[in-house]
Amino acid sequence: MHKQLVEFYVQFHQEQHYFLCHDILEEAWKAQNEFSKHDPVVSLILVATGCYHYRRGNFKGAHRSFKKALKTLQRFDSTVYSQLGLQYHLFQQEVSQLILDAESEIPFSPIMLPLTDEMTEEILKYYPHYRPTTTINAAPFILHHHKLRDRAEVIAARAQAQYNKKR
């Protein structure tokens, strides 16, 4: 999952492709032998989901995702989150602030997750040109990804599931 964490942080901070961030970590999380919604990585998945909603002006969806993320991250301690490359207390403060901001419908601005120095160094090993973006990336394909992506695979899987259910 380490490689996926690096990719997640690059997409989160540099590209602001929150939908892809969700997909990157969800796939890695579900690929584990045992996975649970109480896994600390779920808090990152939920923060990415919340940011996707928040940037699009869906304050209720963002608020709900951020609250779930906070509940998940409070189950663990700083040691667990340092293994995910995060400074636990600062991450907890950031998510708490996101909850308040979404609830108050404060306009979105890019979020900088508080990475450990070790994680930043690791990212720079793979992505030497890594630079977090401080302006909102409003590229339509990123902003409205759930509507603009190729959904052929999803549609085929749903059709197969319906077919199997009828049999």
CA angle (5 as vertex; 138, 1 as ends), nearest 5: 140
Domain of 83, in residue numbers: 2-166
115: β partners? 86
Secondary structure letter of residue 85 according to DSSP: T
Residue 125's CATH number? 1.10.3450.10
State the Cα–Cα distance between residues 23 and 10, nearest whole angstrom.
14
Could you give the number of structural domains in the chain?
Answer: 1
- Give yes or no for residue 48 having a pLDDT over 50: yes
- Which one, of 44, 53, 2, lies nearest residue 23 by Cα? 44
Structure tokens that stand for 70 in this block: 């906070």
Report the predicted TM-score, pTM, of the whole model to 2 decimal places: 0.82
82-127: per-residue pLDDT in tens? 999 999 999 999 999 999 999 999 999 999 999 999 999 999 999 9
4-16: per-residue pLDDT in tens? 999 999 999 998 8
- Which one, of 8, 23, 18, lies nearest residue 139 by Cα? 18
What are the backbone dihedrals phi and psi of residue 78, each rounded to the nearest 5 degrees, phi first? -65, -30
